[in-house]
Amino acid sequence: LSKWQTGKVTNMSWMFARASSFKSDLSKWDTRKVTNMSRMFYMVSSFTGDVSTWQTGKVTQMAQVFYGASSFTSDLSKWETGKVTTMRAMFTTATSFTSDLSKWD
């Protein structure tokens, strides 16, 4: 998955939902055109991947992206969220997540 060409993808919703043992490196993915990430890692309890460098400036949908991702700890402080219209339950039961999001729009 680390070599997938994602530069033209706009919708990543439900991509890895319920893939409970998912552990791939996605740090180099090109997410500049993505507008929907809803439920992308929904109930992926073992996800610990680094998505800190993802460019999220065009994303409008982030509902439940990390819902149930109880092992997730990536730093999302640099994610651009100015265009996001819904973040409903984005981190519900993501119990290991502690990133400082105080600079998000």
In a domain, 102, yes or no: no
- For 76, the token pair is 């999302």
Which amino acid belongs to residue 74? S
Q: What percent of the chain has pLDDT over 70?
A: 100
In a domain, 51, yes or no: yes
DSSP assignment of 1-46 equals -TT---TT--B-TTTTTT-TT-----TT---TT--B-TTTTTT-TT
In a domain, 42, yes or no: yes
pLDDT of residue 105: 86
In a domain, 105, yes or no: no
How many domains, the chain? 1
d(CA 23, CA 93): 18
In a domain, 67, yes or no: yes
DSSP assignment of 76-87 equals -TT---TT--B-
Which residue has tokens 């981190």? 91
In a domain, 37, yes or no: yes
pLDDT tens string 9-55: 999 999 999 998 888 899 999 999 999 999 999 999 999 999 999 99
In a domain, 8, yes or no: yes
d(CA 104, CA 101): 6
In a domain, 103, yes or no: no
Higher pLDDT, 65 or 48: 65
d(CA 33, CA 104): 19
Structural domain boundaries enclosing 64: 1-97
